[in-house]
Amino acid sequence: MTATTPKDPTARDAYTHGHHESVLRSHTWRTVENSAAYLLPHLREGLAVLDVGSGPGTISLDLARRVRPGQVIGVDASAEIVAQASGLAASSGVENVEFRVGDAYALEFDDASFDVVHAHQVLQHLAHPIDALKEFRRVLRPGGVLAVRDVDYGGVLTSPASDALTRWLELYHAVHAWNGGEPDAGRHLKSWVRAAGFTEVTATGSVWVFASDAEREWWGESWALRATESAFAAHAIESGHSDVGELQRISAGWREWTADSDGWMLMPHAEVIARA
C-alpha cells in the first residue's frame, strides 16, 4: 500500500515495489493460510474486519469467507488496485467484502468500528509506522484485535551464493530506505505496536520458503522482471543507487537462480497480535 503526501521531505512513503504486473502477480499468491495463519485463532463468524493495504484483495477475500456473514473492508491508496480487487470479489462471488481507496494515516471510519484490523506487508513501507498503528487502534473496538505481519529483509537467506542476488539485497535495502520505509521492519513490529499504545502484545514469526521448481519460477521470474521494469528499478536509478546495466545483471542473476535446481530462499516474517 502506498501512502499520501509525506509529512517531511525525507519521508517519501513511496511503495518500493510499485504496481507493475510482476508485483501484482506475486501478491495474488497470498492467502490467510500462507500469509496470516497467526490470525486464524482470532477469526469467527460475524466479525467486522478492516484490511489495510489490501492490494489485489486475495487475503481480504479469504478473510471474508472466514467471517461471513461479517463484513470485510479492504483499503488501499491505489484506485487502480482497488478497482482490480473489487473485480476479483465480483468474479469470485464473495459478497461480504468491499474495497475502498484509503490512507493508512487517516482512515475514513468512525472510532471503534472494527473487531479486527489486519495489515500485511504494510508497515515496512511507511515512514511513520507508529502513527499508522495509532490510527488502527482508533478504529478498533475495545478489546479488538490488531494483526500485523512484515518481512525482515535483514534475515533473508539465499542459496547457492550469488553476487547478483547479494547485490540485489543490498540495493533493496538502500532503495527501500530511500523511499522512507524500513526494510527490516519485522524486528521492530513488537516495539512499534507497544509504542502505539496496544496491550496484550503477542509476537511470533513465520517464514516464506521458495525451493521447488514451481516456487522458484514464480518468485524468481517475478523479481527478474521487477529488477528492470517496476517502480523498484525506477527508484534505484532515480536515487543514484544503481544503473540500467547493474539492474540487468541482477535480473539475469534471478533467472540463473530460478533455473538452478539447488536454488532456495527463505524470507523471515514477524507477526504481532495485540488488543486495543
Could you read off the pLDDT of 6-32 as tens digits, one per residue? 333 344 556 556 554 554 455 568 999
Which amino acid would we find at residue 25?
A: R
Please state the domain count of the chain: 1
Q: How far is CA 213 from the centre of its chain?
A: 24
Q: Is residue 221 part of a domain?
A: yes
pLDDT(259) > 90: yes
Whether residue 11 lies inside any domain: the answer is: no
Q: Is residue 1 part of a domain?
A: no
pTM, two decimals, is 0.89
> In this prediction, what percent of the chain has a pLDDT beyond 90?
88
Asked if 154 and 267 count as a contact pair (C-beta separation under 8 A), the reply is: no
Residue 15 falls inside a structural domain = no
Domain enclosing residue 93, as ranges:
21-275
Residue 88 within any structural domain of the chain: yes
Q: Are 135 and 117 in contact (CB under 8 A)?
A: no
Q: Which helix (H) or strand (E) holds 223?
A: helix 213-229
pLDDT tens digits, 190-210: 999 999 999 899 999 999 999
* Domain-embedded: residue 8: no
Q: Provide the CATH number for the domain around residue 79.
A: 3.40.50.150
Instruction: Name the average pLDDT for the chain.
Output: 92
Q: Is there a domain that residue 119 lies in?
A: yes
> What pLDDT score does 29 carry?
80
Residue 198: DSSP 8-state: -
Q: Is residue 264 part of a domain?
A: yes
Instruction: Show the cell assigned to 104.
Output: 493508512
State the Cα–Cα distance between residues 91 and 160, nearest whole angstrom. 41
